[in-house]
Amino acid sequence: MKKILIVDDEPNIVMSLEYTFKKNNFEVFIARDGHEALDILKNALPNIIILDVMMPHVDGYNTLEQIKKDPRLKDTKVIFLSAKNKEKDIEKGLSLGADLYMTKPFSVKKLVEQVNELIK
């Protein structure tokens, strides 16, 4: 079964994505911030991570830096999903190793298509 980690502190987005990906036959893991994500990643090795940038405690950029340092996780696909939509924000996310940077508001259908494309 495909595994996905959703890291976001907005409950409505988390609920929507969790429902959608479970419906699309993913095992779904949820984290509300970077600390929680890194804890989950100690045991779970998802195929892909959807990562918000602006979160409490540890932001998405720092979380991604930690993920890329872990030899078990460095090749895991990562999509940033963020309200930060300035070109410098997008460039930063991609330069840190994200495979894709999507801005909010977003199309759930398009996100599912991108996830499936990245983990083929």
pLDDT for 43: 94
Residue 76 banded pLDDT, cuts 50, 70, 90: very high
Q: What is the CA angle 38-43-46, rounded to 5?
A: 80
- The overall average pLDDT reported for the chain is 96
15-63 tens-digit pLDDT? 999 999 999 999 999 999 999 999 999 999 999 999 999 999 899 999 9
Q: Contact at 8 Å (CB) between 33 and 9?
A: yes
Q: What residues have CB less than 8 Å from 75, skipping those under 6 apart?
A: none
Is the backbone peptide bond immediately before 105 cis, with ω within 30 degrees of 0? yes
Total of domains in the chain: 1
Structural domain harbouring 40: 2-118
Looking at the chain, the whole-number percentage of residues with pLDDT higher than 70 is 100
Quote the pTM value: 0.96
Instruction: Band the pLDDT of 86: cuts 50, 70, 90.
Output: very high
Given pLDDT bands bounded at 50, 70 and 90, which one contains residue 8?
A: very high
CATH number for the domain spanning 87: value is: 3.40.50.2300
